Amino acid sequence: MYLTPSDLQIGIFFLFSIFALATALFIVNSKNVFYSAVSLAFLGISVAVLIADLDPEAYSLYSAFHLLLYVGATVVFLSISLVMFRGLEVKEVRTPWAPAMALLSAVAFFAVLVLSTSSITPVQVQPLNLAVIGEKIVSQYWFPAVVLVIALLTTMIEALSLARRD
Amino acid sequence: MNPIVVDTALVVASLLVAIGIYGLLNSKNVIRVLLSSEIILNASILLIFSMSSLAGKSYTPLIFSVFAIGMALTEVVVAFASVILYYRQKGTLEVE
């Protein structure tokens, strides 16, 4: 008996789903936030794999972007910056109604998703490539791109002013 | 599009949102709160792509997510700057 590409896709998806949920649980339960921040990198990798596995032909480009910018920049920045702090151990706070609230929100969220997806009708498939994405960002989505560039620039200035000693 | 994969993605996204909310409610550490919000961000991006694969391939979720990740980077740096200032003033990472 041989595995078909579809079986492999489902197998990889289940494996990384479990991995993503396990790392998310570790993030909220770890007693040291440095380990939580490192686990966020593994969650980012899992989500990138899940996105690529949804439709490898269409979304592998974004998946690589997620790995580069989110895991490679954001999470690494967060993890390295945490070294500056002392006392990263988290004091245990138990909110008795937090698990019930989280479970309730998951059920409500999933119900809304199921209701909204039942009315979706697939549109015509578009071929996806990098050249068209770049052209669309420049022509159609130029304003959000400008806002993003300005936000990143102010972030850099902020980081420089923070790194400067008083 | 594999329907089993898309349905699983919806379940995983819902569970990640629940875990993120649990982390937000169950912690007084500012960095833990920031990390919990990052879990919800990851869930929302996974959700955007799973919904998009249901509706057919389109450029909109790709471009939207690229901007979302860029803004997430900015948000993390700004939030972290606030955490540093808080730590300098209070000497602790726990909020009251």
ipTM of the complex: 0.90
- Taking only the tens place, the pLDDT of each residue in A96-139 is 888 888 888 888 888 888 888 777 776 666 666 778 788 888 88
Name the one residue in this structure whose structure tokens are 């955490």: B83
Domain range annotation of chain B: 3-90
Render B17-66 in DSSP notation, one character per residue.
Answer: HHHHHHHHHT--BHHHHHHHHHHHHHHHHHHHHHHHHHH---HHHHHHHH
Chain A residues in contact with B90 (beta carbon < 8 A): none
Tally Cβ neighbours within 10 Å of residue A129.
12
Look up the CATH number of domain B3-90.
1.10.287.3510
CB A90 within 8 A of CB A31: yes
Domain range annotation of chain A: 1-87, 125-166
CB A58 within 8 A of CB B60: no
CB B59 within 8 A of CB A127: no
Chain B residues in contact with A9 (beta carbon < 8 A): 2, 5
Q: What residues contact A53, with CB distance under 8 A and at least 6 apart?
A: A9, A12, A13, A16, B5
Most confidently modeled of A44-48, B60-64, B68-72? A44-48
What count of CB pairs under 8 Å joins A to B?
225
Write down the pTM of the prediction. Answer: 0.87
How does the average pLDDT of chain A come out, rounded?
Answer: 83
